[in-house]
Structure 1
Amino acid sequence: MAKDHYSVLGVQRTAKPDEIQRAYRKLARKYHPDVNREPDAADKFKEIGEAYNTLSDPETRARYDRFGSDYRHYASSGAGPGGNGGRWGPRAGARPGRGGYGNVEVDMGGDVDWEDLLGGWFRQQAGGPAQGTDHEAELWLTLEEAVRGGKRTVRLAQPDGATSNYVVDVPPGVLDGQRIRLAGQGGPGREGGPQGDLLLTMRIQPDSRYRLKGRDIYVDLPVTPSEAALGAKIKTQAPAGTVTITVPSSSSSGRRLRLRGQGMPNPRGLPGNLYAEIKIMVPPSLSKEERKLYEKIGSVSDFNPREER
């Protein structure tokens, strides 16, 4: 026995379209075969896709609500099997005054092939060709990939269990949560209508080296005590490549050095900045000579960082 589509998505039969869409997105992410390695994940994903395809289309949902799992055997206009007579109900989404029936049902008996006679009229009233549903997925990027952009190949599972590859041109400076639309890569159209689109939401993976705030990028810059005291030019790795940072003399831990425009690119305005935060590091162990030199510095210096200044 076929499973109830509403139960598959975990929604009530009175659920609104946005509730159905939210439920589908949540389950599709959970059971996507590229993410979920359970043996039945692909079958579950296909089942979820079938339920969503049925309930996301108002006309198909209306037939499903009326005829249950046998809804595919009924004409789109609502006639019984074979199209000969039957009981005709309101077209899904019909509105009084716009060609719909409202809540009126008309009983057309006899042997007339009403589907053949009125099929074109009903298709016209239903709006004719319609664009397919948009599909949604997430594309995970490293911070370096988000900064540099470039082409990415994405492999996505389809509702029928098959997989398809999509080539995505990621623009430099894309931010977490931004969307890229691939026109015509979504669900098939109805009655010859155009395909829907594929909407890819960009997600940037957390990185232990960098912190992204808006378009500004923060990175820790480890320096030796002598580099912090005397100043130095230090090469370090940034998401866009290697950069050289000038450390001023007498720099303490926590000091932030700004590299203007070296953060996240911005296709529509100014790029972000790169901030290097100084972290003074000491050797894990000291040689005899290093210890003597540190002791000498301690004996000649009157600097006390614990005094208020």
Structure 2
Amino acid sequence: MPDNHYQTLGIARDASADQIKKAYRKLARKYHPDVSKEADAEARMQAINVAYDTLSDAEKKKQYDFELDHPQGYAGFNAGNQGGFDQSQFYHQSTSDGQHADFSGFEDLFGRFGQGFGGGDYQYQRANRQTKSFRGEDQHASLEVDLEIAFHGATQNITLQIPSLNAHGEPEVQRKTLQVKIPAGMKSGQQIRLSGQGQAGYNGGAAGDLYIEILYKQTEQTRVEGADIFQQLNISPWEAALGQKIAFTSPDGKTLELQIPKNARTGQQLRLKDKGIPNKTPGQLYLILNIVIPAAQTEQEQQAYAAFAQAFPSFNPRQS
């Protein structure tokens, strides 16, 4: 087994924050128990999570580096635990048919839980557990959903594992399934607060809250920024040249009409006011025009292209 967190992630001690994150994502894709066939995938994933939790936090990393450089001062700690609590962090979204949908980019989709069990915090709680009560830490997660939910809302079940303290004040992983109601009109990046669903308190302390950040799935056709939606709209060459009126399906599923300006260009943006996410301050819908050239497969179609070329004898697309 690796001797330290850097070896666990396969990085050098001078690795940048971006390099640490990339190493974590690469290993998470390989060893996450939902997708990995490795026999020790669960144990490896736990070690990877602990390593990333420590090295991605500047203060924790500073303390951990100090411990590595001064091992004689930390002989009493469990070396196998590497200064922290082995946290199992596996996240699923329950689909309507009861199956679990796999997520890629685990930390991005459901965040990292259990930061309160890192090294010093846990040791402090153990030292004071007989005399003090503690409020559980707030937890943060992010949930990626389909864009249509922004217009209609939805209720989804999520199953996750979060760290908690048992009756003896010792850390353990608790599995829970929560029902999350996502209201219509949420901007990308807005959070839903689930009161008391974070880390459990200790000695009578209140539980923390769970904050779920809502993100919308990006596709080749659409992306979301806040309440604004950017949607690619394919049009024909004659629609672009002549400025014709067309019908298209907007992100909320409605059919809208749009007047294409004459001599429109690929990449040109058209703004439809207040047609984005229906927030308190409605977002905008930006249509990004994409001219699609039809293939000339029949003789008639080829003749049409020949006639088109004759109609524009001076046109040269390679001239700036």
Q: TM-score, normalised by structure 1?
A: 0.58
- CA displacement at 1:284 relative to structure 2: 1.7
1:237–1:39: structure 2 CA closer, same or farther, 3 Å change rule? farther
Report sequence identity in percent: 29
1:231 has 2:240 as partner: no
**Contact 1:143–1:207 (CA<8 Å) still a contact in 2?**
no
**Is the CA contact 1:42–1:161 (under 8 Å) kept in the aligned structure 2?**
no
Counterpart selection for 2:278 from 247, 257, 265:
265
Q: What's the counterpart of residue 278 of structure 1?
A: 289
CA shift digits 1:66-95 (9 cap, x unpaired): xxxxx7xxx845xxxxxxxxxxxxxxxxxx
- In the superposition, relative to structure 1, how do residues 190 and 261 fare at CA in structure 2: closer, same or farther (>3 Å)? same
1:137 maps to amino acid: A
Which of 240, 247, 251 is the matching residue for 2:260? 247
SS in 1 for 2:211: strand
Offset, 1:194: 2.1
Work out whether 1:157 is the aligned partner of 2:169.
no
Matched, 1:143 2:205: no
Larger radius of gyration: 1
What are the Cα deviations for residues 265-307 of structure 1, in whole angstroms up to 9, with x where unaligned?
323x2x1211222222222224222333343344345774769
SS in 2 for 1:154: strand
CA contact (8 A) 2:267 2:290 kept: yes
Deviation at 1:218, TM superposition (A): 1.9
Task: Report the 3-state secondary structure (helix = DSSP H, G, I; strand = E; otherwise coil) of the residue aligned with 2:294.
Answer: coil
User: 1:224 touches 1:280 (CA, 8 Å); kept in 2?
Assistant: yes
For structure 2, which runs of at least 5 residues remain unmatched after alignment?
9-20, 51-84, 89-113, 164-171
Letter in 2 for 1:140: E
Matched letter for residue 247 of structure 1: I
Does the aligned pair in 2 maintain the 1:154–1:166 contact within 8 Å? yes
Give the match's secondary structure for 2:86: helix
Corresponding residue for residue 86 of structure 2: 48
- 1:16-50 CA-to-partner distances (Å, cap 9, x unmatched) read xxxxxxx9xx89x9587567775545553795249
CA distance in 1, matches of 2:197, 2:125: 27
Size of the alignment, in residue pairs?
A: 229
Report what 1:289 is aligned to.
300
The one-letter code sitting in structure 2 at the alignment partner of 1:48 is D
Aligned residue for 1:88?
none
Cα distance in 1 for residues equivalent to 2:32 and 2:303: 62
1:164 shift after superposition: 1.6
* CA 279–57 in structure 1, closer or farther in 2 if over 3 Å, else same: same
How far apart are the structure 1 equivalents of 2:237 and 2:186?
38
Equivalent position of 1:61 in the other structure: 123
| Counterpart code for 2:219 | D
Q: Conserved in 2, the CA contact under 8 Å of 1:34 and 1:157?
A: no
Which residue of the other structure, out of 218, 223, 236, is the alignment partner of 1:211?
Answer: 223
CA distance in 1, matches of 2:37, 2:217: 21
Structure 1 pair 283–262 and aligned structure 2 pair: CA distance change class (3 A): same
